[in-house]
Structure 1
Amino acid sequence: MGDAQIVVGYDGSPDAAAALEWALAQAHRDGRAVRLAYVFEWLTVAGWIGPGMTPGMWPDEQARQQVEELVRKAAADAAAAHPDLTVGGEVLDGPPALVLEECSTQAGLLVLGSRGHGGFAGLLAGSTAVSVTAHAHCPVVVVRRDAPSGTRAGHVVVGVDGSEHSLLALGFAVEQACLRRVPLHVVRAWQPGREQWTGDAPDRDAVLAEHAAELDEQLSRYREAFPDVEVTVEAAAAAPAGLLIDASRNAQLIVVGTRGRGGLRGMLLGSVSQQLIQHAHCPVAVVRER
């Protein structure tokens, strides 16, 4: 797989179909090839059910052929509908999370559905999507079928707290806003610490103004490099996850880093990105350093 490819975790589920739809729209913007990856795993667990199987059966060659045909047809249909794109597919063997993480070492972008078929048979059960976003070596976009469209109207939102990971997310978000020709909305959440219960509580308006000024400073290089991208800044006293989920309502993409500063001050904790994967109203991009 080439470095510029968009890899889509695909198992034929509705969420995987939504992920493929998103990836194809993205490929039209940035000119990348798209490759579907089905991770084929059989476990010797009582009650395990795979494609073409019933409980108590062992996997056979016919089951694998069905999987290969599923991927071949999905890739062929996508290529026929998008003749200007390069679309292919493959079946890989092993634990889904580990295999997809390995795929990410050679991909430019990894796109997943938030859930697969469910149970052991689901390629992209929620736990797999969360694990891959935490450990992938390239940006990961998680798409739910109720918010799949790569052409959805709205702006790009990014959560920034000044940490290294959030600044990587900011760079990715600016590029996406430029590609999509939409505004960028930069969000920073602040939650008072223990001082709010003492007489030393900081002035809320002053603190928020300070955070907004810091965001403006961090954005200066991007405003110069991407002068056509309209940028707005929001600093709010709120829980990070709730603020970002609310911001996703009118967005076509929300971008976060894998982790922030930690503690209550952290804007982009792992738990926040996980909550976005489950509850955001648009696709979620999770960015980390390669």
Structure 2
Amino acid sequence: MSQSRVVVGVDGSPLSKAAVVQAAHFASTRGMTLHVLHAFAPDLPMLGFGVLSDREAVTTHGRQLLENAVARAHAAHPGLTVTTALHDGYASQSLIASSHTAALVVLGSTGHGVLSLTSMGAVAMQVLTHAHCPVLVVGHPRTSAPEPGSRVVAGVDGSPSSLEALRTAVREASILRGSVEVVHAWQARGASDPTLANASSWEEYVAGVESLVEEAVAELRPEHADTAVEVRVVRDEPVHALAASSADASLVVVGARGSGGFDGLHVGSTALRLVGRSECPVLVSR
């Protein structure tokens, strides 16, 4: 995270309120500025239903949402520097544009939008797919800031993206004075499964994964020597395994793309599917 601000999108929904709490925590613990953004699409009045008939009222409502978000952030972190922006445009486009100069973008998995009727809303999917920095997605309105000593889960499949997610998880756990659980899920792909090509037994395969993880975190050991890293290799579908581990974790970190991704895709299916099933916030690293 080389930039100096955390951007959070708000729309007044319960999940966006929880996102503000998460974003304020991230900004405060890293000495960064929190930037709160609300956007409204200029053509939304055309949708009718009497929802947005007065542009001035919409603008006033947006400013009130920003004020409420600032108050929520300051209630948890009184000394935090918070800036705001009211954008005349689509939320996804505004957040993606803001990601160019952000260390992190935070948002709820769904919001008040008319398309937010699935486990992950259209805005979250677009931001995850096109953002230029890591994205933290909050899927539960009762989500609180991470507790000191809590556990961070990292999904690792051996891809460069997942190994970067592992390094991110170690750094996040170090800030929390917590630990890291590395989850590697393996599914059989048939007798000629390439993942077992260099292993003569399941035990040898597990040892290979553990060696891969240790090599990836070795460079971080001097700075994060007190952060315990546990490796868990399971025969399971990756999203199911990570969702199960999220039940008692403060954060799940995954790479934007895994080893099964396709060229041209900016974010993999595991990351997209996990957001709708995780019981704690999901950080998609880049």
Contact 1:9 1:111 in 2 (8 A): yes
How far did residue 45 of structure 1 move? 7.3
RMSD: 2.8
How far did residue 257 of structure 1 move? 0.5
Contact 1:208 1:236 in 2 (8 A): no
Superposed CA offset, 1:65-107 (max 9, x none): 2212321343245335532111121111222212211111111
For the residue of structure 1 that corresponds to 2:250, the secondary structure is strand
Gaps of at least 5 residues in structure 2 are 262-266
* Aligned counterpart, 1:213: 211
Please, which of 86, 91, 96 is the counterpart of residue 96 of structure 1?
91
Greater mean alpha carbon deviation, residues 148-157 or residues 183-192 = 148-157
Superposed CA offset, 1:148-194 (max 9, x none): 11134630010112212112212211110111100111121222222
TM-score (normalizing by structure 2): 0.86
Greater mean alpha carbon deviation, residues 110-119 or residues 187-196 = 187-196
User: What amino acid sits opposite 2:282 in the alignment?
Assistant: V
What aligned pairs does 1:149-228 form with structure 2 within 5 A after superposition? 149-152=144-147, 154-195=150-191, 203-228=201-226
Superposed CA offset, 1:182-219 (max 9, x none): 0111121222222179xx99633332232222222222
Superposed CA offset, 1:106-137 (max 9, x none): 11111111111141589x96121122112211
How far did residue 48 of structure 1 move? 4.2
User: What amino acid sits opposite 1:14 in the alignment?
Assistant: P
For the residue of structure 2 that corresponds to 1:158, the secondary structure is strand
d(CA) in 2 for partners of 1:46, 1:23: 33
Please, which of 131, 140, 143 is the counterpart of residue 135 of structure 2?
140
d(CA) in 1 for partners of 2:203, 2:107: 40
Contact 2:120 2:276 in 1 (8 A): no
d(CA) in 1 for partners of 2:115, 2:6: 26
Contact 1:42 1:59 in 2 (8 A): no
How far did residue 233 of structure 1 move? 1.0
For the residue of structure 2 that corresponds to 1:249, the secondary structure is helix
Gaps of at least 5 residues in structure 1 are 264-268
d(CA) in 2 for partners of 1:28, 1:259: 28
How far did residue 230 of structure 1 move? 1.0
d(CA) in 1 for partners of 2:75, 2:14: 20
TM-score (normalizing by structure 1): 0.85
d(CA) in 1 for partners of 2:173, 2:137: 18
Contact 2:124 2:137 in 1 (8 A): yes
* Aligned counterpart, 2:107: 112
* Aligned counterpart, 1:270: 268
Please, which of 47, 65, 72 is the counterpart of residue 70 of structure 1?
65
d(CA) in 1 for partners of 2:160, 2:99: 20
d(CA) in 1 for partners of 2:144, 2:76: 15
Contact 1:76 1:88 in 2 (8 A): no
* Aligned counterpart, 2:3: 3
Greater mean alpha carbon deviation, residues 16-25 or residues 62-71 = 62-71
User: What amino acid sits opposite 2:36 in the alignment?
Assistant: L
The aligned length equals 276
1:239 aligns with 2:237: yes
For the residue of structure 2 that corresponds to 1:225, the secondary structure is coil
How far did residue 139 of structure 1 move? 0.9
Contact 2:15 2:110 in 1 (8 A): yes
* Aligned counterpart, 1:16: 16
Superposed CA offset, 1:217-258 (max 9, x none): 222222233111111111222211111111111110000001
**For the structure 1 residues 78 and 219, does the alpha-carbon distance in structure 2 shift closer, same or farther, using more than 3 Å as the test?**
closer
User: What amino acid sits opposite 2:154 in the alignment?
Assistant: V
User: What amino acid sits opposite 1:82 in the alignment?
Assistant: H
Contact 1:208 1:237 in 2 (8 A): no
